[in-house]
Amino acid sequence: MIGQLFQYPFMVHALEAGTAVAVLAASVGWFVVQRRQAFTGHTLSVMAFPGAAGAALAGAPTTLGYYVACLVAALALGRSRRPQARGYVGESATVGTVQAVGLALGFLFLSLNHAVLDGLETLLFGTFLGVSQGQVVTLFVVAAVTLAALAVVGRPLLFATVDPVLARARGVPVAVLDLAFLLILAVAVAATTQITGALLVFALLIAPPATAQLITMRPLPGLLLSIALAIAIAWLALGIAYFSIYPVGFYTTTFAFAVYVLVRMGRWIASRG
Amino acid sequence: MFGHEFIRNAYLAGTPVALACGVVGWFVVLRRQVFASDALSHVAFVGAIAAAVLGLDVRVGLFVLTLAVAAGMAGLGRAGAADDVVIGTVFAWILGIGILLITVLATSSGGGNGLTPASTLFGSIFSLTAGAARLAAVIALAVTAGALLIARPLLFASLDAELARVRGVPVRALGAMLLALLAIVTAESTQAVGALLLLGLIAAPAGAAHQLALSPQAGLAVSAAIAVAATWGGIALAYAIPALPPSTAIIALAAAAYGASALFRSSAVLRSG
Amino acid sequence: MTTRAQAQGTREGPLSAAVEIERAAIRLGGRPIVSDVTLTVARGEFVAVLGPNGAGKSTLMRAILGLVGLASGSLAVLGAAPAQTRNQIGYLPQRHGFGEGTRIRGIDLVRLGLDGDRWGISIALGSRARQKRRAERRLIEDAIALVGAAAYAQRPIGELSGGEQQRLLIAQALVRRPKLLILDEPLDGLDLPNQSAVAALVKRISTEAGVAVLLVAHDVNPLLGYLDRVVYLAGGRALAGTVEEVITAPKLSWLYGAPVEVLKAADGRLVVVGAPEAPHVHSHRHGDP
């Protein structure tokens, strides 16, 4: 029965895309969880909506719209972030405002285009049908480039994240790294959105790394574990969604959530024993 | 403009809702709980869909689910504020269920009594009946009154939880009450402004107010004033420009206010330099 | 009596002093922070940097690290210009304790002190790289052992007490075997037993490893008995010498430009009374002490 899955090209493409996206989302997501930027991650992913709607209006490819919108939002957020004040009161208000503006613009573009709002669902909740070979290749390239970027900046980024005062004193360009990470995050969510949809990016971006960090706090093992968990979740979700009438987004989030809850409960039980 | 009933209803509902958002939002931004607010507004959408699937009044689903999630958030965190990873994972899971329910709704008979994802997500303030508008106004005014009632102890608890606790202020309960008020205004306003755009009215006016170094009383007043002004202006603009959706106009004005106050603050900082 | 004369007594041979400051003045944002600081710290000396809030203690430390420039005067660190020797200085800046939610282990924090500013990932290919990896691990373990934190280094840092966190942060500052250790208010927020313990630890490190230490503090008392000398900053000026020489009423009154009393309790503790907290604007001074 599993063999059935691999017979159809669209399914193979979906699995390939799912793998690329899982690797990408989980590795960037490990840092997102460390940096407590889940809200920012969600906001950037939501930008896919005005991106796609704007692209449709302009007659440009949808994927391009995703990336452009997410990157523009990242730049807007990067400029407004105050380097010295962690948890500065205004920061979450800025992120929330950017999200609302993005959505409002998306809605405007949609209305201007008199576009049928069917596509809305796919955009927000993802699909694995109709993933083309070209898309798969692009996703793997994006994943490779992002992983390379993380490999280069990962260590100083972690330093800047957990110990910004000392990092700055040691010459780590904290403000630059903050912005660089936002751009990396923008690219990662733009890619992930294509599979999970704008609203469900967390299933691969946040849940697997959060689960991994419950199991180990060691950076490299944690990162690898996040990726492994994300791939497992993506494959399981895609596999089951194939046989089911229900959308893949539901399965991705449910499995991601289930794994997180199980590990969390397991730790709680272990701590009582 | 006021000759039209739909405009009158829009103002009738919009004004108190804006007031409530401005007041509640001021505390939400202060306590850095904008993400929780975002989560609640996303969850509201799922509540509406769930109610439709179960054949219940949309409102029931909206209120029950948002209040339940708000209670969960209040319970899971310290001083009524939960971890961003937990919030994110839970709301992604609930959204996943939402997409499941959309599918169920689409495939079931009746197709959901006119409820579309678009209207729940982006609102339809111009399609309110007089009765719906009146109800929205009453609930929003009640929320505003409730927020102002607990304002002083809530402020104390938000700024200095330790001391407040020692002085007998029920810190946790107040945090839960704020989340409950937020849930109610979210559930009610979803129909007017739409779940996704509610975030803008919670975050932007309050964000603007917090940029200016004001006393709490002045801050609350400014936040409410900006929210109401944005709503009035937005409705008028949308009336004048048919292609502009009202929710987009409202959010754009609120965000502009935030941008303006941020610019004002940074230029003031530079001048005092 | 001058500070130079005393410092020279402990200098060893051709090795330069750890820190040599000559009539330094520092300005930040146009305002004078310190106007006339002269100080020499020898290798292996344990010197406390004291003074009221806003006196410029942290700024002076940052100047030694090369993060802030001098308006006038000269400053040599380990025989070279400040920024050049930054890698040989272990720095423990003032920062908030790590909150409960901080998701990193103590040992990883110490490791970041070793290589956190290096870009790229280090893959141990080949025996040379593996040896280097092993040597690095030894450095980390030694630093942690030196501060006595081996028992809890594997735990998430957010779960540790203030004293435990502080020890790991000292290990972080020590991990690259610095010749100079700068600790900015490491005793803040610690209870008295912990303050004593940290002071004793720092003294032991200074003696055993021959590391010069500049420790910024509000209160000299937890450090009495461990110190070699103190530097007292107030009113933009500095006085250096032993505790008995510097912390006296006439000296401190001159420094502050206001009448100050120094009381000595029966157990040897010193209390400075009447010192204004706000930074003193440098005005005309008449005569030396």
- Contact criterion met (CB < 8 Å) for B118 and A246: no
**pLDDT of B131 strictly over 80:** yes
Q: Provide the whole-model pTM.
A: 0.84
Q: What is the tens place of the pLDDT at every residue in C39-52?
A: 889 988 999 999 88
For residues C55 and C183, the model is more confident at C183
Instruction: Give the pLDDT confidence score for residue A85 in this predicted structure.
Output: 46
> How many alpha carbons lie under 13 Å from residue C45 in its C-beta half-sphere?
28
What percentage of chain C reaches a pLDDT higher than 70?
89
- Contact criterion met (CB < 8 Å) for A155 and C172: no
Closest Cβ opposite residue C102 in set A162, A166, A171: A162
Task: Give the CA-trace dihedral at A248, A249, A253, A259, to 10 degrees.
Answer: 20
- CATH label, B5-193, candidates 3.30.460.80, 3.30.70.20, 1.10.3470.10, 3.40.50.970: 1.10.3470.10
Report the gap between the CA of B257 and the closest CA in chain A (Å): 11
Region A77-81: mean pLDDT is: 76
- Contact criterion met (CB < 8 Å) for C116 and A159: yes
Measure CA A172 to chain center: 26
Token pair 């409530």: residue: B20
Q: DSSP secondary-structure letter at C282?
A: P
Report the gap between the CA of A57 and the closest CA in chain B (Å): 14
Q: What is the tens place of the pLDDT at every residue in B132-146?
A: 889 889 999 999 999
Closest Cβ opposite residue B245 in set A108, A245, A247: A108
- Contact criterion met (CB < 8 Å) for A163 and C103: no
- For chain B, the structural domain boundaries read 5-193
Q: Mean pLDDT across chain B, nearest whole number?
A: 85
Q: Encoding tokens for residue C5?
A: 């004369």
What percentage of chain B reaches a pLDDT higher than 70?
92
How does strand C89-92 pair with strand C237-241? unpaired
For residues B93 and C3, the model is more confident at B93
**Cα distance between residue A210 and residue C163, in whole Å:** 28
Q: Tell me the H-state helices in chain A.
A: 2-7, 9-34, 38-46, 48-58, 62-80, 89-112, 119-125, 133-162, 164-169, 174-196, 202-205, 207-215, 219-243, 248-272
C-alpha distance from residue B181 to each of B206, B236, C111 (Å): 16, 28, 46
**pLDDT of C205 strictly over 70:** yes
| Nearest residue in chain A measured CA to CA from C85 | A170
- Contact criterion met (CB < 8 Å) for C119 and A153: yes
| Nearest residue in chain C measured CA to CA from A31 | C103
How does strand C31-41 pair with strand C89-92? unpaired
Closest Cβ opposite residue A97 in set B32, B116, B258: B258
A&B contacts, CB < 8 Å: 177
Least confident of A68-77, B233-242, C12-21, C178-187: C12-21
Of A34, A217, A271, which to mutate for an interface test with C (greatest number of C Cβ within 10 Å)?
A217
**Cα distance between residue B109 and residue B124, in whole Å:** 24
Indicate left, alpha or beta for A166 from its phi (over 0: left) and psi (-120 to 50: alpha). Answer: alpha
Instruction: Give the pLDDT confidence score for residue A89 in this predicted structure.
Output: 57
- For chain C, the structural domain boundaries read 3-101+179-273
Closest Cβ opposite residue B255 in set A100, A107, A120: A100
**pLDDT of C283 strictly over 80:** no
Q: Which fold has domain C3-101+179-273?
A: Rossmann fold (3.40.50)
| Nearest residue in chain A measured CA to CA from C104 | A217
Which value does ipTM take for this structure? 0.89
- Contact criterion met (CB < 8 Å) for B96 and A253: yes
Closest Cβ opposite residue A155 in set C92, C102, C119: C119
Q: What is the tens place of the pLDDT at every residue in A230-249?
A: 999 999 998 898 888 888 88
- Contact criterion met (CB < 8 Å) for C119 and A162: no
Query: Packing angle between helix B171-193 and helix B5-30, nearest 10 degrees?
Result: 150
Say which CATH superfamily domain A2-272 falls into: ABC transporter involved in vitamin B12 uptake, BtuC (1.10.3470.10)
For residues B242 and C123, the model is more confident at B242
